[in-house]
Each structure stands twice: as structure tokens, then as C-alpha cells.
A = this chain, B = another copy of it.
Amino acid sequence: MKTIITTAFIFSFFLASAQKIDFDKKLKDLGVELYQPTQPMANYAKVVRSDNLLFFSGHGPTFADNTNITGKVGKDLNLEQGYKAARQTGIALLSSLKAEVGDLNKVKRIVKVLGMVNSAEGFAEQHKVMNGFSDLMVAVFGEKGKHARSSVGMYMLPTNISVEIEMIVEVEE
């Protein structure tokens, strides 16, 4: 009996470890490198926690060197480039998330996302652009990455970034 319990304990420990490695491993498998986010230049915060919800500021498609993808999707960028901009915005958000919680395995659920696409007149495929973000989240977190989402087309975005995304994430206590 004792052996069974010990085995079960070791096995569950192994499972937990395996799961713990997963999110980081998946990031590596995807070739995603997070970076240390810069501090906001004004009187706001990149993330604010209330209870077990993290509310994120709108992020843009920002790279580690603090440059952004800019321009309107449907004119300056085509759909595929817009998809990549949304994916890069996801990487920026994950970088802020990692900086906030330390361990990505604390994520319980990507809850809600508002995806705002800098759109040219007549461009009506904001949902396909936003798949760049959503595909990344599900690739990293699986079912926990499946979020409620709005995709909309903006007239103007700050410094002409191509995409701005805000999100709510539920984390463990």
C-alpha cells in the first residue's frame, strides 16, 4: 500500500513538474523569446491586479528594442503582416505577464481580450488579424489560452501602431 501511495505521489509530482515545464517549453518550441518590458513613461501601469484578475494596459506590437510595427492594415500592411503584428502584440503582453507573475504556470485562464486593429478604409478582416494573437495564446496555454474576444477596426492608434490589444488574465491566488 505504501508503495502505491509513494508511486502515486512521485507520479503526480512528475506530472506537476511536466506541466510546469510545459509553458516555457512551448514558448521555446514556438521560437518565442520574451523580453524585459520598459516602464510606462506616464502616470499609468502596464498591469494592475485586483483579486486574482490581472488587467493589462493596451499593448502594441513592440519588440525587445522598444520599436513597434506601425501602419494601417489593409494599406500599409497586408493581412499576413497584420496577423504577425497581432502575434507580436501577444509576445509583448506575455512579456509583461511574465514580468508581473514571474512564473507563467500561475496562469489559470486568458479571460478576455479587446483587439483593436489600425484599419484602412474598407478593411473588414480584423478577426483574421486578431487570430495572430489568439493562435499564439492557445499554442502556449492550450485550453487555458482560449479567451473571449472582440476584434474591431480603429481609425487611429497612438504613434500609428498597427494593433493595440488589452487583456484580462486570471491567475492563481
Contact = CB atoms under 8 A, between A and B. Distances in A.
A99 interface: no
A67 to B, nearest CB: 16
Interface string A104-126: 00000101111010010111111
Interface residues of A, number: 54
Nearest to A155: B155
Contacts of A154: 152-155
A153 B146 contact: no
B47 A119 contact: no
Nearest to A166: B150
Nearest to A150: B58
Interface in A89-144: 109, 111-114, 116, 119, 121-127, 131, 134-135, 137-138
B156 A153 contact: yes
Interface string A45-68: 111101111011110000000000
Interface stretch (A12-20, A24-32, A157-165): A157-165
A84 interface: no
B155 A112 contact: no
A168 interface: yes
Given A57-B149, A58-B151, A158 B127 contact: yes
Contacts of A119: 155-156
Given A50-B168, A56-B148, A57-B149, 8 more contacts: A43-B131, A43-B135, A48-B109, A48-B112, A58-B150, A124-B160, A126-B157, A150-B164
20 contacts: A42-B134, A42-B135, A43-B146, A44-B134, A44-B146, A44-B149, A48-B147, A50-B168, A55-B168, A58-B151, A58-B152, A112-B166, A116-B150, A121-B156, A123-B156, A124-B157, A125-B158, A152-B154, A153-B154, A153-B155
